[in-house]
Amino acid sequence: MDMKKVVAFKVLLVLALTVASTGCKKSSSSKNSSRATGWQINSREGGFQYNSDFKEQETSPGLVFIEGGTFTKGRVQDDVMHDWNNSPNQQHVQSFYMDETEVTNAMYMEYLDWIKRVYPPSDENFRAIYHGALPDTLVWRNRLGFNEVMTDNYLRHPGYGEYPVVGVSWIQAVEFANWRTDRVNEFNLEKSGYLKRDAKIIDVNADQTFNTDTYINAPTLTYGGNEEIINGDGRGRRNVRTDADGNETGIYATRETGIISPDYRLPTETEWEYAALGLSEIRSYNLYRGRKKYPWDGQYTRSGKRKIRGDQMANFKQGKGDYGGIAGWSDDGADITNAVKSYDPNDYGLYDMAGNVAEWVADVYRPIIDDEFNDFNYYRGNVYTKNALNEDGSVKVVTSDDIVYDTLSNGKVVARNLPGEILQVPVDENETYLRTNFDKSDEINFRDGDKRSSRNFESFGDDENDEEGKKSNTSKMYNSPKHSITRDSLGNIIREYDKGNNRTSLINDEVRVYKGGSWKDREYWLDPAQRRYFPQDMATDYIGFRCAMSRVGSKSKTKNKKKN
């Protein structure tokens, strides 16, 4: 190549690089330019600040991604219990995340350790907080069985550390999920430089705690208003600017930064069943090849794979007096629960969606699924609240003197709120007036169990009262016992059983659905479509839970999916 050609080639190369560089600058510039006004976004001079570099939601600790879609919810095999409570219905589920495993004893012990450090039970003001979070270890006792080794050791002994926690009520499971949300977001904000490093361990106490909602709505009230903690050290903070007066702005993270994740929560029944089925295993183009009986493919509980042929796919009660099989190769490896990940996961990568322990889900139980009204993200149990406000319009944050305790139906005392949280109150007509999508704070009984769907219905607008003259939340069609818990003048609990013989049901607004077969159940209950219920404030030795989290943004993690 002669000198002229070399020079020409270099000139062309420089021009190409210049054009490419200019194109990148234009692309970057357009990304930070508003399509509404043409103004600059994230300008150093101030104005609108927004995370325009956000790619997708980061998977939070312990979770796996579940891509949503449509599926047939409900009965797959015969209804041998004759409950008629899971008729097949078509539902669509948004993408979400779910815990890879059930919440283990070690995970729950971390929660208890945090509560004990922050709200020491030696302080009479906080004693009920710790005791209200403790699992009920007495669930292992049996009138004609010797199970004291589990009563004494199952929760705390490291030999059971990776076993699913039991003895936890639905209420306790919800509180664990709330605590987990705050701890994960606290850690995320610390990593991004918005909070002081290690404050979550060194500086935390009953009057200085982190709560996600408080940080979003009133960040200066987080950690009791300790500026040293909430101003952080600036590592990696986005959008910090200095205004004309020399004051820093953008020093607190907001939803717009993308750093604060959605809440951990219990999965809805529909989400749990969809995730348990793992239908992608039998997907062919735009169809499912039949239906599934278990979280794994096939009609049997033993594996048909060559290397592990004959191995049990889950632990369950195989017959009367048979909780695992004959000792040795052919058994399921457990007589009670088993360590998580002891059996193969389903096609979504979820472990123990059948066997081990049954699991709480978010829904209030009703015998029917009202798919005629809704077939998208179906859930029964909505109770809408809003932040309580002070007279000056600021949010009302709970202090150590404002903790409200509830006495449950079994006499156990639990904290309804914790210091540092924003007090919640029911929504009122300011939010419901002339709305068509909801009309009151508590929608648990909508189209099922309220007087409009009851045989006792008289006319629209009439109030139905119970025996005590109080407005009834649930109609007579769910005529459950009403046990009484009261206190005398000395504060002692008085328990009074409802001995009435005219009760017709155990269903009320405080019973929640639990799903999946457990170590104590027969094979029939391993079917993810099966549904049962249990009082939300009671616990057993065979019900545990796992958490879920909503997906924000795109439905899929892969942008260019194959057509099939």
308-347 per-position pLDDT tens digit: 776 787 899 988 998 888 887 667 889 999 999 999 999 9
The mean per-residue pLDDT over the stretch 345-353 comes to 94
Burial 329-344 (b: 16+ CB within 10 A, else e): eebbebebbbbbebbe
The whole-angstrom separation of Cα 389 and Cα 85 is 42
Residues 6+ apart with CB under 8 A from 456: 464, 475, 476, 477
Task: Label residue 243 by pLDDT band (50, 70, 90).
Answer: low
| Half-sphere exposure for 7 (CA within 13 Å, toward CB) | 3
Which residues, in sequence order, are bridge partners of residue 72? 90
Cα of first residue to Cα of last residue in the chain, in angstroms, is 50
Mean pLDDT over all residues of the chain?
85
The whole-angstrom separation of Cα 316 and Cα 339 is 14
Q: Helix, strand, coil % (nearest 5) of the chain?
A: 25, 15, 60
Task: Label residue 48 by pLDDT band (50, 70, 90).
Answer: confident
Reference 476, options 458, 499, 493, 491; nearest CA is: 458
For the whole model, what pTM was predicted?
0.89
Burial 522-550 (b: 16+ CB within 10 A, else e): ebebbbbbbbbbbbbbbbbbbbbbbbbbb
The whole-angstrom separation of Cα 215 and Cα 219 is 4
The whole-angstrom separation of Cα 234 and Cα 218 is 19
Residue 548 corresponds to which tokens in the numbers above? 């879920």
* Per-residue confidence (pLDDT) for residue 82, from 0 to 100: 84
* Per-residue confidence (pLDDT) for residue 488, from 0 to 100: 77
Reference 527, options 289, 316, 304; nearest CA is: 316
The whole-angstrom separation of Cα 334 and Cα 316 is 9
CB 99 within 8 A of CB 546: yes
> What distance lies between CA 231 and its chain's CA centroid?
30
Question: H/E element holding 430?
Answer: helix 429-432
Integer Rg of the chain from CA: 28
pLDDT in tens, 393-426: 999 999 988 898 888 888 888 998 999 999 999 9
CB 483 within 8 A of CB 409: yes
What the chain holds in terms of domains, given with CATH numbers, is 55-192+259-381+516-557 (3.90.1580.10)
The whole-angstrom separation of Cα 453 and Cα 260 is 41
Task: Label residue 463 by pLDDT band (50, 70, 90).
Answer: very low
pLDDT in tens, 70-96: 999 997 677 788 888 888 999 999 999
Residues 6+ apart with CB under 8 A from 47: 39, 40, 41
Burial 389-424 (b: 16+ CB within 10 A, else e): eeeeeeebbbebeebeeeebbeebebbebbbbbbbb
pLDDT of residue 67 exceeding 80, the answer is yes
Query: Computed from CA positions of residues 151, 155, 161, 162, in that sequence, does the dihedral angle turn out positive or negative?
Result: positive
Q: How many CB atoms lie within 10 A of CB 453?
A: 15
User: Which of 492 and 269 is assigned the larger pLDDT?
Assistant: 269
Reference 369, options 272, 277, 479, 448; nearest CA is: 448
CB 396 within 8 A of CB 390: yes
Q: Residue 158 carries which side chain, given as an amino acid letter?
A: P
**180: three-class secondary structure by DSSP:** helix
Residues 6+ apart with CB under 8 A from 173: 103, 266, 360, 545
Residue 375 corresponds to which tokens in the numbers above? 């077939």
Residue 487 corresponds to which tokens in the numbers above? 């206190």
* Per-residue confidence (pLDDT) for residue 235, from 0 to 100: 66
The whole-angstrom separation of Cα 200 and Cα 182 is 10
Q: Give φ, ψ of 128 to 5 degrees.
A: -70, -25
CB 56 within 8 A of CB 559: no
* Per-residue confidence (pLDDT) for residue 29, from 0 to 100: 55
Reference 412, options 300, 227, 539; nearest CA is: 539
Angle between helices 170-191 and 105-118 (to 10 degrees): 70
Task: Label residue 462 by pLDDT band (50, 70, 90).
Answer: very low
* Per-residue confidence (pLDDT) for residue 310, from 0 to 100: 67
pLDDT of residue 456 exceeding 70, the answer is no
Tell the residue number behind the tokens 């190769």, with chain if given: 329
